[in-house]
Structure 1
Amino acid sequence: MSDTATQTQMEHAPGSFCWIELATTDGPGAKKFYSELFGWEAQDSPVGPDMVYTMLKLNGKDVGALFQKGEAMKQVPTHWASYVSVTSADEIAAKAKALGATVVQEPFDVMEVGRMAVIADPTGAHFCIWQPKQHKGVGIKGELNSLCWNELLTNDPTRAIDFYTKLFGWKTKTDSGATPYTEIMNGDDHIGGIMQIQPQMGPMPPNWGIYIAVDDCDGTAQKATSLGGRQYVPPTDIPNVGRFAVLSDPQGAVFNIIKLDLQHHE
């Protein structure tokens, strides 16, 4: 353990996804589900009179966090939020506004760990920005049972691509398949994708989703169901990429799992 304790935090380049966080209706239930599904360990920290913030760890390294929504967030759906690392939360929030986004929560300090804001892009998808201070973000990424990809589902990919490339300086590459998929690069790192919401997906608000890498897509999907979760898309092959499934936890938060054929995303 001493090795882990002395390790420096993983650095996240500005413009890269650095953190994932679950807002749930049942903290203890969510902790049980994810710890049994992915082997994550939960570490609770009180952050207010009635609120606990739970760090989720894998082999002693942070993989994300969860918290139980209070009255103030009653209207916010149960969801996994994606955070992008930035040099200045204030500058990026102002820039996002100028590019047609809505700043849902203006930049604010999270004690001494960082400064953040919540933004809705011009197509309606929410994401968070994180200006790191003491806390850089996840300590493990792209490995089994950790975050490996973030994906925007939107009704207007063209507008979304225009917005994010201007906001974060991302580069994009769109394939010309039956369902076009746009890959996002932050510098040389392939960090995520953008895709049009398809009719067969049903009524769905634009959203940023997370992918957790697994070594057995079918086994993990089956286990999620046995733990009270739900399969929205059963295990499905993506040629030359891997096998993925779209799941939700017992409280309704949607997430993706993927067994990658090639570690070409990292």
Structure 2
Amino acid sequence: MLNRAELSAVMSVYRSVRVGMVLGLGLVWRTVRQCEGRAGLRAVSGSAAVQGLRAGEHSWLCGSTAAVLHTVQGRVEVRQNFITEEEENALLQELEPGLKKKRYEFDHWDDAIHGYRETERAQWGSVCTGLLSRVRGVAFPEGSPLLGPVHVLDLDKAGYIKPHVDSVKFCGSTIAGLSLLSDSVMRLVLEDNSAEWVDLLLSRRSLYILRDEARFKFTHEILKDADSYFLGQRVPRQRRISVICRNLPV
């Protein structure tokens, strides 16, 4: 049986621990709100965002938990400055004449894209042929059957790509895309648990690669300009062209 003095000491310790827990939870929630960027983005339930697989490992990657980052380890990749400014210009010189003949569409056959125009291209000049060979060389396993035409998606400044999973009937295990004209944020959300998410910072002239589980167990989207934040930092979205290579289903 505790005497009065011992009981008082125990209660004092309990109050200190309780205050510490409240302050700690408050710090976690503030960190969550910073990574959300805005209240309109998905809430991160129960934990702060984690950057990289270890502190500071990837400046282009953050997620809701360490567990979800381990899930996508080796299955998501962003290579910054994969092409030069001159190579970007070479791509634009080939693409702009055809794109200018099209109008931006603000609906889509499966409601996946808003504010876009698109095309496919099989023939390229020598500079673009070389850089697309470089994309395929780093993104796809040697001997992997590739989808012949390259998909080109032009998003208006007001455009965005809604959460979706590509059809397995038309796409293989890997997708690789060059980002032209603008930085943007790609968000992956686990289909079975929407509280688990990963954000990729796609800087201008970078190459992103999604493989296997990152392709088929997560939705992916390009955030609209109003929601374009990465780790609490604004990432202004301008007009964005993506040049996308895919392999064929096996």
Q: TM-score, normalised by structure 1?
A: 0.28
Q: TM-score, normalised by structure 2?
A: 0.29
Instruction: From the CA coordinates, give the structure whose radius of gyration is larger.
Output: 2
User: Which of 1 and 2 has higher RCO (CA within 8 Å, sep 6+)?
Assistant: 2
